[in-house]
Chain A
Amino acid sequence: MIGVISYLVFFATTASILAIAVLGLNLQWGNTGLFNGGVVAFFGAGAYATLILGGTPQAGHLGGFELFYPLALLGGMAAAGLLAWIVGLLTLRLRHDYLAIATFGVAVAFENLMRNAEWLAGGAKGVRGFERPLREALGDGFLYNLLFFAVVLVILIATYLFLERLVASPFGRLLRAIREDEEAAQSLGKNPTKIRLTAFVTGSVILGLAGGLYGTFYAFVSPQDVLPTLTFQIWAMLIVGGAGNNRGAIFGAFLIWGAWTASGWALSRFAPVEAQLYTGSVQFILIGSVIVGMLMWRPQGLLPEKLVVSQRGKTPLVKQGV
């Protein structure tokens, strides 16, 4: 029994971390219409920077700063934000598919940098020497994982509430306006480039937060964690859950991560031994089919975007009697 609960905690922690990442992507794509095809670069920047800043000295790569954990995590978020700012300045004038291609290229470059620059992040061996916070006091067992899950859940809820407020604010309406028609927004005196950059950096900071928590959870990160696979998974979560809806983003994260792990388990249990070599590929086909199916039959996702009425909008117009 404890094994099942322990696994559920592990599953829920990973799904919650991914849900934070999906919320970051939802701000970029769902609310602003920015096609970030390089999600994993910003996720990875958060993970790598958190572990490098919070880790113990290592002979093989940069590190040894041993920052207080919250500062290391903030550093991870800042690194993702800085990367997004630089990438955004260079690419945000591009539209849709071109932006997706450019950001995908950034993610591939990031992975290759991490794989080859051993002095920076340990190369293919990854970042070592990171101790999970409070590990000495709590140990490595179930209690630690349960408390870590609680912390991740609080951060997920806080991120959700922050984004809900943001979407309902005038700035949130501006994001949707730019998503719908940049030219019309410009004609109202809005500067789309500046606003798109703000949304891109904010979403990437949230992706960096998720990456930092992911790195903390596993106390390790390597180039294998920043493969395009993760970008694909996070996009699947958003498309299935419902782009533009933060609840949909969270729901999609849990659903797709559940489907991903369940399909892996089912294939390892029931598929012929020789077919199990291809478990990962079969999982991709399954998830890809789900995405295609959703886009064909329910492109708005399981929880579609809802109309947000601001507090000002709710105020009756006394003068008009409406």
Chain B
Amino acid sequence: MPDAILQAKGVTAGYVPDLPILKDVSITARAGQVTLIIGPNGAGKSTLIKAIAGLVQMSAGQIAFDGGDITGIRPDQLAQHGISYVPQTDNIFRSLTIRQNLDLALRGARGDAAATLARLFDQFPALAAKHRDKAGTLSGGQRQFLAIAMALASAPKLILMDEPSAGLSPKAAQEVLEHARALTEQGVSILLVEQNVNQALRLADHCYILAEGRNQVDGSAADLLGDSIVGEIYLGGRRVGAA
């Protein structure tokens, strides 16, 4: 089994003091794998990824990344540690061109910016073809590709993706998720929050299911794909370990 690249232990967090959304949640993301977090609406999936990214304050718990403690990290310090975060929506700057979006992401990033830009355009030829267009003119799928390209600009070891298929057509969603999977071949680990359960389980390595802000089940994505427990948890008919 690959080494753990990110470990969240006992995370309790929420938007309002004394009203936690997450209650003692623990997950582990492994290097070079897609780790999936699923669960019904209100389960705390996005809150968990935001807590890891420093966007939601934690009242308890610990986050370790690549051997170091990053608990309470500021969101703007993520990139320095080798983590990129792709928000669910509004993850690009619509009034800027595609090129300017990428320039912005490359500013201050490690390595040769021109070489990285060329590499990103190689990887996303549709973006290269439209590099002078406003990002706001892109389709939903292309916007997600731009957001992923921007996340890759800082050469991250781990990308936190919050529902990249939200609002996309099934075909576009599939393309985006397949691309996320392909990133692991470049050595990038992915922590993915998704609502498209079946599509996401097919490409993930390991999966955690949350409900009501707590860990419910976790296991290999292949095993969970055919397991009726997924549907039961989504329909609210079964709880494992709930208080």
Binding site for B on A (CB under 8 A): 170, 173-174, 176-177, 180-181, 183-192, 305, 307, 309-310, 312-313, 317, 319-320, 322
Residues on B with C-beta less than 8 A from A309 are 97, 100, 132
**CB-based contact A307/B95 at 8 Å:** yes
From the candidates A170, A180, A187, A190, name the one contacting B94 in the complex (CB within 8 A).
Answer: A180
Most chain B CB atoms below 10 A, which of A177, A186, A190, A192: A186
> Is B9 interfacial (CB 8 A cutoff)?
no
Known: A173-B104, A188-B79, A312-B99. 12 other contacts (CB 8 A): A174-B107, A184-B91, A187-B79, A188-B154, A189-B80, A307-B95, A309-B97, A312-B103, A319-B122, A320-B118, A320-B129, A320-B131
**CB-based contact A307/B91 at 8 Å:** no
Most chain B CB atoms below 10 A, which of A180, A188, A312: A188
> Is B87 interfacial (CB 8 A cutoff)?
yes
A309–B93 alpha-carbon span in the complex (Å): 14
Residues on B with C-beta less than 8 A from A186 are 55, 74-76
Given known A177-B104, A183-B87, contact A189–B93 (CB-CB < 8 A): no
Tell me the residues in window 40-98 of chain B with beta carbons closer than 8 Å to chain A beta carbons: 53, 55, 74-80, 84-87, 90-97
24 A-B residue pairs with CB within 8 Å? A173-B96, A174-B104, A176-B93, A177-B96, A180-B93, A181-B87, A181-B90, A183-B75, A183-B90, A186-B55, A186-B74, A187-B79, A187-B86, A187-B87, A187-B91, A187-B151, A189-B79, A189-B108, A309-B100, A313-B103, A319-B118, A320-B129, A320-B131, A322-B129
**CB-based contact B53/A173 at 8 Å:** no
> Is B105 interfacial (CB 8 A cutoff)?
yes
**CB-based contact A319/B121 at 8 Å:** yes
A194 to B, closest residue via Cβ: B76
**CB-based contact A322/B90 at 8 Å:** no
Given known A184-B93, A187-B87, contact A170–B107 (CB-CB < 8 A): yes
Residues on B with C-beta less than 8 A from A313 are 97, 99-100, 103, 131-132
Minimum CB–CB distance for A85 against chain B, Å: 20
Residues on A with C-beta less than 8 A from B93 are 173, 176-177, 180-181, 184-185
Given known A187-B78, A189-B154, A313-B103, contact A320–B128 (CB-CB < 8 A): yes
> Is B211 interfacial (CB 8 A cutoff)?
no
Minimum CB–CB distance for A199 against chain B, Å: 15
> Is B134 interfacial (CB 8 A cutoff)?
yes
A312–B113 alpha-carbon span in the complex (Å): 12
Given known A313-B132, A317-B128, contact A305–B150 (CB-CB < 8 A): no
Residues on A with C-beta less than 8 A from B92 are 184
Residues on B with C-beta less than 8 A from A310 are 100, 103
A191–B92 alpha-carbon span in the complex (Å): 16
Residues on B with C-beta less than 8 A from A191 are 74, 76
**CB-based contact B78/A307 at 8 Å:** no
> Is B109 interfacial (CB 8 A cutoff)?
yes
Minimum CB–CB distance for B182 against chain A, Å: 20
A84–B87 alpha-carbon span in the complex (Å): 32
